[in-house]
Chains A and B, each alone.
Chain A
Amino acid sequence: QSVLTQPPSASGTPGQRVTISCSGSSSNIGSNYVYWYQQLPGTAPKLLIYRNNQRPSGVPDRFSGSKSGTSASLAISGLRSEDEADYYCAAWDDSLSGSVFGTGTKVTVL
């Protein structure tokens, strides 16, 4: 079961900015780093953001992450058609002694 809550969907037109929220608790987001993953249709997930707001090499700077308290967010600016994918947040949970994922958000480019 997912411990982190995300909106099921988000959408925007090309060039727009889209923001995805991820809500957790003190045992996960509140005390550990947040990570974001992008899953294109039919493919394995790919790391998008690590340690709350760091981008791996190769990830466009259109993607940015932030964290405040027990919530985090992923922003996609300058939305492009190739950004259509499912996005998941994740964090370690100290109470569960395990990693937890968000419920996932499907981003649609209109």
Chain B
Amino acid sequence: QVQLVESGGGVVQPGRSLRLSCAASGFTFSSYGMHWVRQAPGKGLEWVAVIWYDGSNKYYADSVKGRFTISRDNSKNTLYLQMNSLRAEDTAVYYCARDPEDIVVVPSAWFDPWGQGTLVTVSS
């Protein structure tokens, strides 16, 4: 079955970096766009970034633009989120999610399925 498993979360000091990974299985990873979505403790959902199935296009939320980089390795069926210059307000559970339409070139807010999430805590 389609499965997404995030890893790489933890406690990090403000200003430092962290890289999250999302291992995909059960589908042809290289055919699907992928997203990162986060949720601060007790708060709502916030979309973070999207990458096209082939890595040709990437879009970011204004809150992370210039600090976070989304990437993928289709040979390893893995999605990444490189997070630099971390701030306290980046503390959240980070979910990876798939766009369920294959070879999509028109972006949408269609996320299915989602991973279980990985917690990132930015604190000194």
Contacts and interface: CB of A to CB of B under 8 A. Distances in A.
A104 B42 CA distance: 11
A91 B59 CA distance: 14
Contact of A33 (B35, B95, B110): B110
A interface SS class: strand
A15 interface: no
Interface size class of chain A, counting residues whose CB lies under 8 Å from the partner chain: 20 to 34
Interface residues of B, number: 25
Interface stretch (B10-18, B78-86, B114-122): B114-122
Contacts of A1: 63
A104 B59 contact: no
Contact of A99 (B47, B95, B114, B117): B47
A3 B38 CA distance: 15
Interface string A49-86: 01100001000000000000000000000000000001
Given A44-B115, A44-B117, A96-B62, A103 B44 contact: yes
Nearest to B43: A104
Contacts of B108: 32-33, 35, 92, 99
B110 A50 contact: yes
A101 B47 contact: yes
15 contacts: A47-B113, A56-B112, A86-B44, A90-B47, A90-B109, A90-B111, A92-B107, A98-B60, A99-B35, A99-B47, A100-B47, A101-B44, A101-B47, A102-B44, A103-B44
Given A45-B114, A47-B112, A98-B59, 18 more contacts: A2-B44, A2-B46, A32-B109, A39-B45, A45-B111, A50-B110, A88-B44, A88-B45, A90-B47, A90-B111, A91-B109, A92-B107, A97-B107, A98-B60, A98-B61, A98-B62, A99-B50, A100-B47
